Structures are given as structure tokens and as C-alpha cells.
Structure 1
Amino acid sequence: ANIVDDHLMEVSHVIRGEEWLPSAPLHVLLYEAFGWADTMPHFVHLPLLLKPDGKGKLSKRDGDRLGFPVFLLEWKDPVTGAISAGYREQGYLPEAVVNFLALLGWNPGDDTEIMSMDELIAKFAFDHCSRSGAKFAFEKGKWFNHEYLMNTPGEKLAALAAPYMAADGINPADFSEEYTAAALDMLKSRATLLTDLWAQSRFFFAAPDTYAEKDIRKRWKPETPRQMAELIEVLESLPDFSAAAAEPVVLQWIADKGYHLGNVMNAFRLAVVGECKGPHMFDITALMGRQETVRRIEKAIDNIKAPEA
């Protein structure tokens, strides 16, 4: 049936996996038997994608077993109801997946790895395809996605992140596109997947309701609430709340008071972010703004209790 379909659709090239090689002579004979030899397509047989470990062809079970997607989109088995993860749902960019898959069993003839769709089309040639199967190195796929994330403009990331925000109960329309783009731009170099990017940037869009216990134990001292109240006064006195203006003033205040720099700055970060990690603190507060920064510090003073000695 596929021979008839290909003939009627005037297919010029049949590109398929090498497991079809044993059937190729039969297909050629069928074209000749039907009198279609002059319109027979070119047959190209490509090497298969192999398991990341061991031998044999890649299968859905390998993805389930090793924790990586096999399908481009999430797929639900209509019989069993089992759900197999998809690249899109796990936070991969389409361009990154295309680039990653293109280099499995093919190379451009040099060491170039990052290529746009137009570049892939221009460089692709069958004579650069491998004659042997390619192991499915799914960690390399994550590397490609990280590279593409880092080079995606914040404005595009804002649109891509909108479904994750909505699924997390946060309305993207409550924030300007410029704010969302700037927040995602600040964190994209730290993320591998869109899901990572949203998880790491969520604090920009919702004040923390909980605070990292290990950071509280290490950084929130009995004197911290008083220091944070003083910090609020310093922040409210600033005529310019930009990172470049705020940082030297706050650092000078800490030095003048003789406070422990690490404890104060990490308590500051804990109050605003919810944990002691993230981008440069004053870049965060400059984007977040004075009012929201102060509000979060006040909330932390009210809610975080210093661990008992």
C-alpha cells in the first residue's frame, strides 16, 4: 500500500530507518511490476538511534527507565492510560531539539554544533550521515537546550514562560513584558530547561511563603530582625534605587556598623528570595523595586524565627 501511496503522491525521496533495508528489493520489484520504474523514488536508509546504554534500538521504555523524553509531545497510551513525557512539556525549546536530533548520525563536516534551521538545511547532505547507529546521549540534549536558552531574548522567553506561570497560579498579565523579560534574562544562564528557568525565577513574581530552613539556621541570628529593620531605613533613604547606587551605600552601612557582611547580606537575600542563592542581590532589588523589596523584608521579620541556640 505504501508503494501505491508514494506513487500517487509523487514522492521523490523515501528516507527511513535501516531496518527497512531487507524490504527495499521487494519495493523496487513492485515499482517495476506496476510499470512505475521511471518514477521510482530515491531510497535512503539511515542508521538507527541506539540505547544510551547497552545495545539495541532506542525505545520508549528506555526513556521511562532512564528519565528522558522519547516523544516530542507528551503522549498518553489510549489503552493503559500511561503517560510518556514529551520534550515540550519538560521545557525543551523546539530549535534545540531539532539541532540535537540533527547531529545524531550526521555531521556538517566540521566541529560546528549550534546551527539554526536554515544552517542545517544548507549544510545537510546524505554523504555526511554515519553508517552506524548513534547512541542517544540525552545529556547532550540538555546541553543544547541550555545553549539555546542563553541565546534566547528575554521577550521570547517571557512568552514561552507564560504557560508555566499560569499553571503555577500566577497571571502573566499582572506583570509587564519588560519586567518578565528582565527577570528571565537575569536567570537564563543558570537554567537548563524552561521548567528550571521558571522554578528559579518564580520569586520575582511571588513573595516567598516559606524560607529555606538550612539558610535560617546558618544566617538568621537573634540580632537579624533588628539589622533588617535598620536595612529598611537605609533602603528607604536612597534617592536612587538602582543596583549601582544602592550597593555601595548598603555595604558602607554594614561596614560602619561593624556587622558581619555575610550574615547581613545572606539574611537580606533570604528575606527577598526565600533562600540564599540567586543572581546579584542588588540586580534583584533594582528590578523588583523599593516597595516590594521593603515589603518582603518586613514579612520576613514577622515570619522568620531565629533558631534557638
Structure 2
Amino acid sequence: EDYRAKGFFKEALVNFVALLGWNAGDDREFYYLNELAEKFELERVNKAGAVFDIEKLNWLNAEHLRAKDPADLIEPLKAELNSAGIDFSGRSDEYLKSVIIAMRERVSFVKEYIEKSPYFFLPVAQYDETSKLKNWKPETGPQMLRLKEEFAKLGENPSKEEYEVALKLVATELNIGAGKLIHPLRLAVSGMPAGPGVYDILVILGKEETINRIEKAVSIL
């Protein structure tokens, strides 16, 4: 129960415990529960002392998380949001599913959706200092406002491709590389230096929230 409370999936724990003293005769480590039930044989149990490797358990948990249908992670994510005291009443299940898909290669536990991408659930409260020093220059504010203008011309729910075309248009107009806009844009909408693709973030947040966050960042940074 202690491990379940820490966020480990039942499937990962059973998978891990099975491997402590048994193997199927190959190098495979990830198993679904039904596969373990089919393959397990007492003859292949190893009598040598088992080594508890927490890194392997973490890895297995991440693998089982990624193997799940994103829809099956919505309720666990809601439970974590409740535990964190985050009001998600304005977020649809489809919104949460989009976050789950965007972040699942970057997390090992459901709670890490909140820890590693709080900007999907809360307003940006602070901006990464290293990224700010590196990517936010005196000319960045006006450039971001110009980008905001171009985003405002897009339809109600722009696609990743539409955001990208708009950004590249502004970069060409300003005679700068796209990266000069992409990195400060990521900082503006997430407050963080890394994460999913920036256009994925924009699509999930939506046009109105994206524009609001650009304006806020320009006023603060």
C-alpha cells in the first residue's frame, strides 16, 4: 500500500516483484499482468538473492503508464489534482486527456503531470531564471507582441500548423530565426525552459489563454 500511495501502478509492482526471482528465459522485462500469468513457471524461479532496484521499478512504472489508454489516466489525474488542491472544474476530460498525451513520454508517475507541467492547470506564477537570462532580451517584448497580433488573426481553435506558420511569418518579417521567438514564447506560456513541443502547448491552452499569457509575460519580464 505504501508503494501504491507513492504512485506506483499495481501492474508495475507485480511486474517488478515477478522479476525479482524469475525470468522467462529472455531479456524482456516489461510484462502485462495476463502475460505474467501465462508465462510464469516455478521451474524458472531463481533461488539466488534478489536485488531491489528502485530505478528499475521507476522505469517499469513509466512503461506501464505509457502503455495505458490515455482515457484510463483521466480519473487518476483528477485524484492527484484534488490532492494538490487544484481546481480543475473548468477543465474538460478532453482537455485532461490532451495533457496526458502531450506529457506521457516525460513522466513516470501520474503526479508528475502536475509537478512537471503545472502551467496546464495553473497560471504561470514564475519564469525560469536561466531561460529568462538566455532568451528574453530587450527586443523580445515587442517581438512577442507582434507575434501575439499574428496569433490573434487566427481562427478560434488554431492547429499546431497554423501557429507554426504564423510564427515563421513573424520571424521572416523581423528578419530573425524562428528560435528567437520559439524559446521566449515557451517561457511566456509555460514559465519553463523545456516540455512538450511549444505548438502542442499552445493548442492545449487555446488561443485566448496563449494570448493572455504572452501579454502577462511581456508586462512582467
The CA deviation at 1:173 is: 3.0
Compare the two structures and name the one with the higher helix fraction.
2
Runs of 4+ in structure 1 over 6 Å off: none
Does the alignment pair 1:91 with 2:7? yes
DSSP 3-state at the match of 1:250: helix
The CA deviation at 1:248 is: 1.8
Deviation string for 1:203-248 (max 9, x for gaps)?
1111211111111111111111111111110000123611022212
State how far apart, in whole Å, the 2-side matches of 1:201 and 1:219 are.
20
**Unaligned residue ranges in structure 2 (runs of 5+):** none
DSSP 3-state at the match of 1:143: helix
**Unaligned residue ranges in structure 1 (runs of 5+):** 1-72, 74-85, 305-309
The CA deviation at 1:263 is: 2.8
What are the equivalent positions in structure 2 for 1:167-246 lying under 5 Å apart?
Answer: 167-239=83-155, 241-246=158-163
**Number of residue-to-residue matches in the alignment:** 220
| Higher RCO (Cα < 8 Å, 6 or more apart) | 2
Q: Is the 8 A contact 1:153 1:185 kept in 2?
A: no
Give 1:171's aligned amino acid: D
State how far apart, in whole Å, the 2-side matches of 1:180 and 1:202 are.
12
TM-score (norm 2): 0.93
Q: Is the 8 A contact 2:167 2:181 kept in 1?
A: no
Does the alignment pair 1:292 with 2:209? yes
**Equivalent in the alignment of 1:124:** 40
TM-score (norm 1): 0.68
Deviation string for 1:8-27 (max 9, x for gaps)?
xxxxxxxxxxxxxxxxxxxx
State how far apart, in whole Å, the 1-side matches of 2:109 and 2:19 are.
20
**Equivalent in the alignment of 2:192:** 275
Q: Is the 8 A contact 1:90 1:195 kept in 2?
A: no
The CA deviation at 1:105 is: 0.4
Give 2:19's aligned amino acid: L
Q: CA RMSD in A?
A: 1.5
Compare the two structures and name the one with the higher strand fraction.
1
State how far apart, in whole Å, the 2-side matches of 1:97 and 1:201 are.
26
The CA deviation at 1:260 is: 4.2
In our comparison, the structure showing a higher alpha carbon Rg is 1
Equivalent residue for 1:156, pick from 72, 89, 106: 72
**Equivalent in the alignment of 1:266:** 183
The CA deviation at 1:108 is: 2.1
Q: Is the 8 A contact 1:271 1:300 kept in 2?
A: yes
